[in-house]
Amino acid sequence: MIESGVSHIEKIRHVLVAGGTHGNEYTGAFLARHWLSDDSSLKRDSFSTHVLFSNQEAFKICKRYVDRDLNRSFNPSETVSNNRALELSRARDIEQWLLSACGGGMPGAIFDLHSTTANMGKSLVLTNREPFNLLLLAYLRQRFADVNAYLWEEPNSQPGFLNSLSSKGFAIEIGPVANGVLHAECVVNTAALVHACLDFIEEWNSGINSPLPSRVPLYCFRRHVDYPRGSDNLPSAMVHPELQNRDFQALQPGEPVFLGFDGSVTLWEGDTVWPVFINEAAYYEKGIAFTVTDKLDVEISGLKSKLS
């Protein structure tokens, strides 16, 4: 249990809730649209919540993006060939808007709402191991036992996520749901997670009193696995039916991972891993059939001492 009176932590004054960063992920897009007209459920006493509908141009055409992935465009050091891309100027506009909305700095925490075609359930995508994020993960698991967190921490890589504008916060990614579809249960659960995140920040600002689990699982990036591909670069095999929908479940050596159109089966070679984003529609173009992770057991009880 985390003790109260954590007065030395930095209070959070501005929080960003973003949706529609991918225009065909309706859960976040419609929640952002709703909250832009009525943000009463997002108001808390100790901080301001700002709502962003990130990529309305992509939403209008029900595509993930217009020119390039907005959620890979918040990386100032990136060398960009197509620098007239709509999403790059959109990323710059969003940063400017945030600076003025948040008193000259970036938000203290960002929650970016996505959806996934993979069977990820109620998932969080973290990009770091900040005590804030791990404590919030514990807080959410106390309330939603089926929340899982994937730590997308690729060595030597800065993906340029919207979330990278703040070290606190993460993407909330609930599925499976098809792109361009409103799935009420996914929308309701996403909103519930957002509300709980805001409740946590209210506690963070005044001292965390809620009981927390002593340990939480964290699924840490090991590597992406691409489809077998032919000379035309298209997949020459599919995710095997026995792997489909088994996100966050152990994959043992010798278990099937791909099924060829000729019936051939590819087996998993290597040690036990925990796959995530299995057969995510948006990742065919990114060369990812699924991502394998290591399951880490994170101790929450001692985290308070690491707060700064």
Part of the chain binding Zn ion (CB under 5 A), chosen from 4-12, 110-118, 254-262, 293-301 = 110-118
- C-alpha–C-alpha distance, residues 146 and 102, integer Å: 33
Q: How far is the CB of 116 from Zn ion (least distance, A)?
A: 7
When asked if residue 23 is in the footprint of Zn ion (CB under 5 A), the reply is no
- C-alpha–C-alpha distance, residues 280 and 290, integer Å: 7
- Give every CB contact of residue 214 below 8 A, 6+ residues apart in sequence: 1, 299, 300, 301
Q: How far is the CB of 64 from Zn ion (least distance, A)?
A: 7
What pairing do the DSSP bridges indicate for beta strands 256-260 and 121-126? unpaired
Question: Residue 196, SS3?
Answer: helix
| Residue closer to Zn ion, measured from CB, 47 or 161 | 161
Question: Can you spell out the DSSP letters for 111-146?
Answer: EEEEE-SS--EEEEEESS--HHHHHHHHHHHHH-TT
Among 14, 22, 141, 246, binds Zn ion (CB under 5 A): 22
When asked if residue 90 is in the footprint of Zn ion (CB under 5 A), the reply is no
Which single residue brings its beta carbon nearest to Zn ion?
A: 114
- C-alpha–C-alpha distance, residues 27 and 184, integer Å: 8
When asked if residue 69 is in the footprint of Zn ion (CB under 5 A), the reply is no
When asked if residue 246 is in the footprint of Zn ion (CB under 5 A), the reply is no
Among 90, 114, 141, 246, binds Zn ion (CB under 5 A): 114
Part of the chain binding Zn ion (CB under 5 A), chosen from 17-25, 31-39, 48-56, 179-187 = 17-25
- Residues lying near Zn ion in the complex (CB under 5 A) are found at 22, 25, 114
